[in-house]
A = this chain, B = another copy of it.
Amino acid sequence: MTTPDAASDRPEPPIASRKEQQAIVARDRIVRAVIDCLDEHGYAETSINRIQERAGISRGALTHHFPSKEELMVVTAERLLQPTLVPPRKGPRQFDSAEQRISAVEADIVWMWERLVDTREGRALLEILVATRTDVALKGRISETFVRWNRAINESLAANYLLHGLAEDEQRELWTMCRVFLRGLNTQSQFEPDHHARSALVRSFARMIATRFV
């Protein structure tokens, strides 16, 4: 908060000292525990006690690294948004045929579902997302992060495809639809417990929307 951090002239390579490494490891264990707890028990039941037990550390260590629960959730949310989540490029992104492009988009959407949304991290993020809607303190801390992430992800997705003939804002809109759909699907398990049925729905949706990428 008060760290200047503005490009100071001293080079200062980020070599972590033993103590710093220790802290990093501890913080990592804690955030990992938060994600697991959010996934398994939900936001309401993710208490300090549970996190502490899950991380296998003492109450004092936890409060030392994260003085408040809000801080804990903010850091966890930032961690969850970190791998900015663009499917890995496996082949050329300059496509020869429309069919190639369509099936590439299709595969990427399935990849997003399996690797990003239908995961511990995806479900944990949903918990935080829903909680943030009504928690004004949390909202004040991380809403800007969410908004910035949303902008960045659309840019990088569009840049990943090099589509001509489709306006950029239309591309952004389509990718946004994908994310909204996949996030919604994470709550569909109550209505459709069959995991395969939901996977099938992802594929159908992917096939449908992929054809819109001109």
- Whether B212 contacts A208 by the Cβ 8 Å rule is yes
- For A176-203 the 0/1 string (1 means CB < 8 A from B) is 1101111111011111110000000100
CA A135 – CA B44 in complex, angstroms? 10
Q: Which of B130, B176, B188, B190 interacts with A187 by CB under 8 Å? A: B130
The smallest beta-carbon distance between A50 and chain B, in angstroms, is 12
Chosen A-B contacts, 19 in total, with CB atoms closer than 8 Å, are A41-B134, A42-B135, A43-B43, A43-B44, A129-B187, A129-B190, A130-B130, A133-B187, A146-B191, A147-B191, A147-B192, A173-B204, A176-B192, A177-B181, A180-B181, A180-B184, A182-B184, A183-B187, A184-B185
The smallest beta-carbon distance between A166 and chain B, in angstroms, is 14
- Whether A180 contacts B185 by the Cβ 8 Å rule is yes
Q: Does A149 contact B (CB under 8 A)?
A: yes
Given A150-B191, A190-B143, A193-B147, verify A130-B184 contact (CB < 8 Å).
no
Given A44-B44, A130-B42, A209-B208, verify A188-B180 contact (CB < 8 Å).
yes
Q: Does A66 contact B (CB under 8 A)?
A: no
Q: Does A161 contact B (CB under 8 A)?
A: no
Within 8 A of B (CB), among A105-147: 123, 126-127, 129-135, 139, 143, 146-147
* Residue of chain B at shortest CB distance from A127: B130
Residues of B within 8 A of A212 (CB): 208
Which 6 pairs of residues, A with B, have the shortest CB-CB distance? A184-B184, A42-B134, A150-B191, A44-B44, A180-B184, A183-B184
**Other A-B pairs beyond A139-B190, A177-B201, A180-B201, 8, CB < 8 Å:** A44-B44, A123-B133, A146-B191, A147-B192, A176-B188, A176-B192, A181-B181, A183-B188
